[in-house]
Amino acid sequence: MNYQRIIEDLYRTILREPDTGSVAAYIPELSAVDPDKFGIYLTTVENENFGTGDCHELFSIQSIAKVLSLSLAYNMLGGELWKRVGVEPSGSAFNSLVQLEYDAGIPRNPFINAGAIVICDILQSLLQDPKNDLLQFIREVSGLPGLDYSPEIAASERSQGYRNMALIHFIKSFGNIQNDIEPVIDLYFHLCSIRMSCAQLTRTFLFLANNGRDTRTGQAILNMSQTKRINAIMQTCGFYDEAGEFAYTVGLPGKSGVGGGIVAVHPNKYCIAVWSPRLNRKGNSQRGMWFLEQFTTETQLSIF
């Protein structure tokens, strides 16, 4: 499979089409990003690399980081985790409050904001020094010892974080936030502030294509069953209320972020990351969705 040629051909084709999305404006730091950035990178489980465009430029990975906080919490707590958060697609917006009332404060899944905030509460209880320990875990998985939170993005998000504040207060009223609100929401804003490039993302998430093991060191980050389950949740819940569309058009487990990044995994084959900041109406990268749809069509490789 000539991944490099396919990636470059599709990149050029998509660049010729008008990008109809718009950059996330509700986080001031994100609205300042050049909307025309476009990068793609693919790493195989044999550690071969292919990429084009702005694939080495850092950007705010936002909700993509929620896969990592979930991995750490799942690894530490095991199946107990699912008493606090569900595994069902929400079918509603990533920052929605409505279902929580019906579901008595148990978020539908760990990737909507409500669910990721509960995962942060779980980590706040489990870790000695939550912010540092979570960062250390992400540094180890990514192989990036210098990786850090972005205080500017975290502060920017906090300055407009009314919905997330509403979510955490609402969930706490049902008893599903066990710590004080402030450190938990601070952990959440910092988790969302991490910046990586497409090339760093594929390296970081490759373990999900490799039965939970780091392809370079052989070290297990998750066991096989946990890896299968995280991939399943990415497949069904990784794109908010567009998860069905992504499964239908792309056919890979993946996770998006409002910074315009998407990571997708082909188990036993590769991890691919795309970045293009303009989002469609559901909050997913417009060009990223187009690219991945055409990529799995062209390569005739999907999990289905």
Which positions lie near ligand GLU, rule CB under 6 A? 62-63, 94-95, 113, 157, 164, 192, 257-258, 283
Please report the DSSP string for 63-107 in residue order: GGGHHHHHHHHHHHHGGGGGGTS--S---S-TT--HHHHHTTT--
The nearer residue to ligand GLU, 258 or 263, going by C-beta atoms, is 258
The nearer residue to ligand GLU, 240 or 290, going by C-beta atoms, is 240
Please report the DSSP string for 161-211 in residue order: -HHHHHHHHHHHHTT---S-HHHHHHHHHHHTT-EE-HHHHHHHHGGGGTT
Decide: 279 and 260 in contact? Cβ < 8 Å.
yes
- Cβ at position 160, least distance to ligand GLU in Å: 9
- Cβ at position 163, least distance to ligand GLU in Å: 7
The nearer residue to ligand GLU, 113 or 231, going by C-beta atoms, is 113
Q: Which residues contact 61 (CB under 8 A, 6 or more apart)?
A: 194, 195, 196, 201, 257, 259, 261
The nearer residue to ligand GLU, 94 or 137, going by C-beta atoms, is 94
- Cβ at position 213, least distance to ligand GLU in Å: 27
Distance CA 64, CA 169 (A): 24
Structure-token match 């919490």, residue found = 73
- Cβ at position 66, least distance to ligand GLU in Å: 8
The nearer residue to ligand GLU, 113 or 204, going by C-beta atoms, is 113
Q: Which residues contact 140 (CB under 8 A, 6 or more apart)?
A: none
- Cβ at position 167, least distance to ligand GLU in Å: 9
